[in-house]
Every structure is written in structure tokens, then in C-alpha cells.
Amino acid sequence: MTSEKNMEDLNLPNVISIDEAYGRFGTDDDGDRDASSSLSVASSAYTFRMEHGRRYHDYKIGSPFPHDEVSDENDFLLHELCLVLLDDRYYLAPIDETSLHCVVDVGTGLGLWAEGVAERFPDSQVVGIDLTPHPRSIFPNCSYMLSDASEEWVLDDPTMKFDLAHIRSLFGSVPDWAALYKNCFDNMNSGGWIEHLEMEINAQTDDAEVPADSQIKFLSSFAHTHMTVASGRDFGISFGMRKLIEEAGFVDVQEKRLKVPLGPWASDPKLKEVGRLCERFYKTGLQGWLMHVCTRSLGGNCYRTKTLSITIISYPSMTSDYAPASRR
């Protein structure tokens, strides 16, 4: 309980005056937020639907993957995994940090990468683009744009050009990669870099062939054929991105493939940690990657899809495709 004397000690004014200029949108006569076109686009993005116990967003029937607590955990795990794997670096492109003024994170999700870069480079401006709404930014130099990144980018500041465009883990989400890369190119400064990181969904082993009847091998071919065709979205974009990035106009394309153990079996402490995170990433992600496409487009049912995902999580090693850092 606070005494009146203590309250006075806080030096609070009796009435807190309002900054008339505060707030981006006005209110209309009914007291609703205004009905500007940007808000009408945004409002449809705030509707979600439940399907087989998972939550999906409805805006333009975007990504076929859920957006809920489980997918949030999956995003956190991937972020942590990437930081450990990349030795606490947010990107590998050889960028002179002093020239890193404007950065865009395409398909930013929870904004974990965007916020991290904003914190590490406080003099830069970071913009995260996503189809789904995002909680308020933590850092003043980070903002979010609710938009389909494969459509024309309408930036708050139309003169803004990016020095780095970052894309991570959008496999199976984007119907038109060529349009998305072109938007990156068109919105970048000459000399800027694009960096795209994707995990490969298939597992491989170092010391032997993956048995032909392994579940994870089945998953790989199932994703790269049936799921890609049924969803109209490339689940194997890691294999095609180099060519598409070059076709968008980028030069000096470099591709780096990094091994990611699945499970904490490696003796190297760093890879042990990566493997531990990867196992959790796989286990928290798999059902969500499969469910919508299997039940909506491939005639599966919820029970069979859940059984499939439980069965698949059983093989010990996978690789990731780290690609490519490329210069405009």
C-alpha cells in the first residue's frame, strides 16, 4: 500500500497532459481507428483461424504454416541455433559495418533477427516485413511492415534503400521467389548484400548411406515432390535459391553449406549445442510443416499426419544449406 506522502515523492503531475501529435492514426466519429487504406489491409491480417488444434493467420491465405505458441518456440530455437552455428554473427556477408545504414529482414516472424541487429547496430534502421502482425518493436531503430514481400514494397520512407536484405527460413512459404528477390534488388543500394539462409528438410549421414526405407528420406522426397506441388511453394528452395538470386540481378553470389547435427551427439561442444537445438527445432516444427498441406491438399487426416510426424523424428544427421551471400 502507498501512503499519500509516498505518492507525492514520485513527483507525478496531478493530470498528465496529452501530446496532441501522438498516434499515427486519428479516430473517426464513431471512435473507431481510422479507415485508411493501410488499416483496411492490416485489419484483415488480424484474423486467425484454428485448424486441427493449430492457429493460422488468414491474410491472403499466406504461409501454410501455423502461427501459435508452438511455432513461436520453433522460431526461437532456429534463431538460437543460427547464432551458435554462425559464432554469434547475424550475417556472414562481408559488409563494412560502418556502411550498414538500412537493413531489411524479409519474413521477419517474431522479429528475433531484426531486433538483434537493431540492438547490435544502434545507428542503423532495421525494417522487418511479414505477412502477419508483429508485437511492438523493442528498439527505436526497428520497425515492422505488414506486407507480402513478393508484392511491391510500400515503405514509410519511399527514399529508403537497404544495404542488407536478410531472409531466413521461408521454405514452403513463398509462391513467387523471383518476385521476392526482385523486390529485394529493387529496394537496395548498389553494393548492398542479400543473405538467405535455409535449412534442408532432408537428413544425411557422414559415414553411410541413409537407408532407402528411412522415414526421413521419405519425408524429404515427399516434401520436395508432393508438398511442393500441392502447396505451390518450394520446400526445397535451398537448392534453387542461388540461380534465382542471380536471375534477380545479384552478382558475386557465394554459397556456404554447413552441417547441422540432428541431436546432441557430436563431441564438439558447439556442434553438440547446435544438434540439441536442431532436434528441438525439428520436433517442434515438423507437425506444423506437414499439417496444413497434408490435410488440405493431399487428402490426409489429422491423426495420420500426427502419426507420420512422430514416426519421422528418428534419424541422426541432417545438413543445412547456407546460401548465398550475394552483392547487388
Ligand X SMILES: C[S@@+](CC[C@H](N)C(=O)[O-])C[C@H]1O[C@@H](n2cnc3c(N)ncnc32)[C@H](O)[C@@H]1O
Task: Decide if residue 169 touches ligand X (CB under 6 A).
Answer: yes
Task: Decide if residue 107 touches ligand X (CB under 6 A).
Answer: yes
Strand order in the sheet with 188-203: 142-146, 125-130, 102-106, 162-168, 188-203, 317-327, 251-261
Task: Decide if residue 174 touches ligand X (CB under 6 A).
Answer: yes
One of 148, 163, 198, 321 touching ligand X (CB under 6 A) = 148
Cβ atoms 194, 328 nearer than 8 A:
yes
Site for ligand X in 234-263 (CB under 6 A): none
Contact region with ligand X (CB under 6 A), list: 9-17, 104-112, 266-274, 302-310:
104-112
Task: Decide if residue 64 touches ligand X (CB under 6 A).
Answer: no
Instruction: Count Cα atoms within 13 angstroms, Cβ side, for 238.
Output: 22
Q: Which residue's CB is nearer to ligand X, number 217 or number 235? A: 235
Cα-based angle 259, 261, 267 (whole degrees, multiple of 5): 105
**Cell numbers 535459391 label which residue?**
241
Contact region with ligand X (CB under 6 A), list: 39-47, 85-93, 125-133, 219-227:
125-133
Q: Which residue's CB is nearer to ligand X, number 64 or number 261? A: 64
Tell me the backbone φ, ψ of residue 12, rounded to 5 degrees: -80, 140
One of 124, 125, 143, 150 touching ligand X (CB under 6 A) = 150
d(CA 327, CA 185): 10
Task: Decide if residue 173 touches ligand X (CB under 6 A).
Answer: yes
Strands 162-168 and 188-203: parallel
In whole angstroms, the minimum distance from the beta carbon of 312 to ligand X comes to 18
Task: Give the H/E segment covering residue 202.
Answer: strand 188-203
Contact region with ligand X (CB under 6 A), list: 91-99, 144-152, 222-230, 308-316:
144-152
In whole angstroms, the minimum distance from the beta carbon of 40 to ligand X comes to 18
d(CA 105, CA 181): 12
Cβ atoms 227, 295 nearer than 8 A:
no
d(CA 225, CA 204): 18
Task: Decide if residue 292 touches ligand X (CB under 6 A).
Answer: no
Report which of 145, 147, 152, 161 is spatially closest to residue 111, judged by C-alpha positions: 145
Task: Decide if residue 168 touches ligand X (CB under 6 A).
Answer: yes
Task: Decide if residue 128 touches ligand X (CB under 6 A).
Answer: no
Report which of 64, 288, 47 is spatially closest to residue 146, judged by C-alpha positions: 47
d(CA 37, CA 164): 29
Q: Which residue's CB is nearer to ligand X, number 169 or number 220? A: 169
One of 78, 241, 290, 293 touching ligand X (CB under 6 A) = 78
Task: Decide if residue 130 touches ligand X (CB under 6 A).
Answer: yes
Contact region with ligand X (CB under 6 A), list: 37-45, 124-132, 214-222, 306-314:
124-132
Q: Which residue's CB is nearer to ligand X, number 102 or number 146? A: 146
User: In this structure, is the dihedral angle defined by the CA atoms of residues 121, 252, 203 and 265, taken in order, positive or negative?
Assistant: negative
One of 45, 54, 56, 62 touching ligand X (CB under 6 A) = 62
Q: Which residue's CB is nearer to ligand X, number 107 or number 275? A: 107
Site for ligand X in 13-52 (CB under 6 A): none
Q: Which residue's CB is nearer to ligand X, number 34 or number 156? A: 156
Q: Give the binding site for ligand X (CB under 6 A).
A: 62-63, 75, 78-79, 107-109, 112-113, 129-132, 148-150, 168-170, 173-174
